[in-house]
Amino acid sequence: MKYFTVYGNCQASVLAACLQKVESFSRHFSYYRIAPCHRINPGDYANLLSRLVDIDLLIAQPVTNQFRGGGFGVSSLIEMSSHCLLFPSLQFYGYFPSLSRLSLSSKSASNQDLLRNLLAPFPALTKDSLFHYSEVRSLFQEGMASSDICSKLDDGSLQRRSLPEIAEASLLHMKEKESLFPDTISISDFIEETWRNRHLFYTPRHPSGLILAEVVRRICSSLDLKFTDREYKLIQKRDHFSFLKLYIPAWIRSKYLANIDNAQAESYYSLTAVGTVFLLTSIYNHFPESLK
């Protein structure tokens, strides 16, 4: 039996699970589990380097040599690997033009309890899956009432760049990552063709089952392994990240995503407009440092 492993962010272990659903792939490869790149420690990374001689297939994202201060990049792994395929970090801001990561320093026990209480009504959310909507943050800082913030979030009047422009910039970033190394499995072309007709990302960094199924199809194709329509549909239906669907404002849904029927209703999302504004303003009130 040959071995494979997947090195990258939180998408790596999910991709590994998807690959193991493919009969032809699992017949050839057994999974060697490793920690994701944002959690792996220097000792485990060194151990991975030494184990690559026994791993027949490395699938990896293009983690830079500067990531986490250095020492966790993919270049060293590629050098030690007998066979490596790369795939880009699956990240797309086309549905979320105003989102940016929200950081909280809730190290004290009381702060952690407070944050847990704020997130309790929204079980899909964790501290690591919080994002700013720039219009919510700016209008909160101006002292606007929550009901009016909801209206502004949904009408898009504060958005300065067009959605296609933002989607194009996000895709250009992915294409640049796809061009860094040979033997990279590209997916930007599929996103570019499909994003307005199918809901491809539930957050900027949580791809749908359709995206994962397409990446698996392309990996199997590069390895000359059979991948059936039934397996494609099975991975698509499993939809690992569908537990968390960030709210897409009404102006985006009506103007650009009219062909995606299930994305139109607020009940489809993990948070409604009201829930999104309520949660973010509560966090801003209790953790003012998060506004920075």
Final residue belonging to a domain, choices 193, 216, 238: 238
Q: What domain count does the chain have?
A: 2
> Are residues 151 and 172 located together in one domain of the fold?
no
Q: What is the 3-state secondary structure (H, E, C) of the chain?
A: CEEEEEECCCHHHHHHHHHCCCHHHHHHEEECCCCCCCCCCHHHHHHHHHHHHHCCEEEECCCCCCHHHCCCCCHHHHHHCCCEEECCCCCCCCCCCCEEECCCCCCCHHHHHHHHHHHCCCCCCCHHHCEEEHHHHHHHHCCCCHHHHHHHHHHCCCCCCCHHHHHHHHHHHHHHHHCCCCCECCCHHHHHHHCCCCCCEEECCEECHHHHHHHHHHHHHHCCCCCCHHHHHHHHHHCCCCCCCCCCCHHHHHHHCCCCHHHCCHHHCCCCHHHHHHHHHHHHHHCHHHHC
> Are residues 270 and 156 located together in one domain of the fold?
yes
pLDDT in tens, 59-71: 999 999 999 999 9
* CATH number (domain holding residue 8): 3.40.50.12080
Final residue belonging to a domain, choices 193, 220, 238: 238
Q: Say if 184 falls within a structural domain.
A: yes
pLDDT in tens, 163-201: 999 999 999 999 999 999 999 999 999 999 999 999 999
Does the pLDDT at position 106 exceed 80? no
Question: Which residues constitute the domain of residue 54?
Answer: 2-89+165-238
| Model pTM score | 0.94
> Are residues 178 and 250 located together in one domain of the fold?
no
> Are residues 33 and 6 located together in one domain of the fold?
yes
> Are residues 145 and 41 located together in one domain of the fold?
no
